[in-house]
Amino acid sequence: MNLLFVGDIFGSPGRAFLKATLPGLIRRYKAHLVIVNGENAAGGAGLTGAVAEELFAMGVDVITSGNHIWNQKDIYRIIETEERILRPANYPPGAPGKGSGIYRAGDGTTAAVINVCGRVYSPQNFDCPFRILDAEIEKVSAITPVVIVDFHGEASSEKIAAGWHVDGRVAALLGTHTHVQTADEIVLPGGTAYITDAGMTGSYEGVIGAGREAALKHFITQLPVRLEPCTGKSQLCAVYCAISPAGKAEKIERILIRE
């Protein structure tokens, strides 16, 4: 199975650049499953039903998320019934939606996708992502050996530790959240494709996708500001993984496309 995983989509600039580049990437990598992190896809904070449908129409199969998933209130209703949208599995019981799902890829492969959030430097009180991963992997592995994880976290150390924790038990653990693509892509000894952060899809002329003037004002004055998506030149950050029917990664390739 050929997996294409696209890093955090940031606002309308990210969506526009994804629309322009995704068809070519799908053809180039003969992608059978396309996953994007969409927690910042609506206005740079959150996800709406309309934006999700826009992403699905582009060829996206699954939307993962993170701690900003609830910023747009529309998502509370949508996520209860839309199986293709995931929220972190380590939210406490009672949170709308679900943290994992089973999907049919274009080559007929059945793949499981799990979404978790890290706890280090997180303002939310998430359940332990390592224990939640253990439980989710055990659950979905009874259905398919092809398991893909989006680990949404701030600390590189926590994501690296998670990669080693699941090595050999999942096909890929791909980090998101920092909006900065890392250069440490690797297939771990047990057959798990890993990268600390897949990066951000949006304008690279701002500050991790947001307008630089407002971001600079906040850092210099420490006053609260409203961050809007930057409208400068855009980039797409993604990862391609080749995965065997046994659920082992055979290859991982980092992708960066800029205007």
How many Å separate Cα 67 from the centre of its chain?
12
Element (H, E) at 158: helix 156-166
Q: Please tell me which residue in 32, 68, 152, 179 is annotated as part of the active site.
A: 68
Known catalytic residue: 68? Answer: yes
Q: Torsions phi, psi of 136, nearest 5?
A: -70, -40
* Integer angstrom CA distances of residue 217 from 10, 162, 203, 209, 224: 20, 35, 19, 15, 9
CA distance 177 to 155: 9
How does strand 100-104 pair with strand 110-117? antiparallel
Contacts of 11 (CB under 8 A, 6+ apart): 40, 41, 42, 43, 44, 202, 209, 228, 229
Q: Which residues are catalytic?
A: 68
